[in-house]
Amino acid sequence: MRRQLAHASMSALAIAMVAATAACGGDESDDGGVDTVSVGVIPIVDVAPVYLGIEQGFFEARDIEVELTEAQGGAAIVPGVAAQEFDFGFSNITSLLLAQSSGLPVEIVANGVASTGVEGEDFGAVMVPADSPIQTAADLATATVAVNTLNNIGDTTIRESVRLDGGDPSDIGFTEVAFPDMPAQLSAGNVDAAWAVEPFKSMIEAEGGRPVAWNYVDAAPDLTVAAYFTTSQLSQEDPDLVERFSEAIAESLQYATDNPDAVRDILGTYTDINPDIRAALTLPAFPAEVNRDSVERLAELGEADGIFENPPDVDALLP
């Protein structure tokens, strides 16, 4: 069944996970051994492959029925998986590093999405209004910048963009705004800049906005941005389910790579984006493998910004 997100803190969930005895796993139906799994996702272009995989029958072919629940960001999905409210989740790498460093037993089971690695042609950027005095990443040093989640992949990579451009990021005023609300908040002047990913980056551009920093590109070459994950408990207790889920995701990623028009079309089923913007937006990369070097770089950036309770263990997180 569709479940609600948990609101407990990372540290509290770490204690809960140690004490938990209930098994986390998909619910098996009574009529043929189909596993029903709940998956937490974000309503952005990044998760188009899982929607395509459901539509194309890649999960059904592996006896899996997928129930999707949307959240604001990976920082909300991680506690949901840790508390066994979701079987699997989609989250950015920094959120998963945060969880791992806090003692939550989470494991990546499949790649999710990656930067194109090309400045000017990536699916995420820091955007400003057309008439903004902000011209470069260094100019963000004293700006108010919207990110979807504080102390996460958005602000750590934006700080790196500012540093690379010769600025001091210590005085950036980050404020939390959900991705779908960023175009309106930027247009209203409530923030100076907004870190937006597709399709919201293209929505801002349609209103005259322009990019001033390509934070994913600046963070690491071919940055792995996000991945699908589960708990160590589920991996140990039902490795067959996890393997089938991972295989279905891998097939979905390849289908998305081979069929960009299908990605644009499916986006219209779970976001309220008009066809013209869907046709113009920049698609991310959907590689099959996680880029380990980029994960280690995100860990380094997070440590430099002091967002981890303890140094994260990349080996424990990666498949």
Domains of the chain (ranges plus CATH)? Answer: 10-115+222-317 (3.40.190.10), 124-219 (3.40.190.10)
Tell me the whole-structure pTM to 2 decimals: 0.86
pLDDT at position 26 is 52
d(CA 290, CA 108): 9
Quote the pLDDT of residue 274: 87
pLDDT at 316 over 70: yes
- Is the predicted pLDDT of residue 155 greater than 80, yes or no? yes
Amino acid present at 297: R
Question: In the numeric block, which tokens belong to residue 70?
Answer: 């949307």
The whole-angstrom separation of Cα 309 and Cα 233 is 23
CA quadruple 181, 185, 188, 193: dihedral positive or negative?
Answer: negative
Of 209, 239, 226, 201, which is closest to residue 96 (Cα–Cα)?
A: 226
The string of pLDDT tens digits covering residues 5-40 is: 333 333 333 333 333 333 344 554 444 589 999 999
Residue 273: per-residue pLDDT: 86
Which tops the pLDDT comparison, 26 or 49?
A: 49
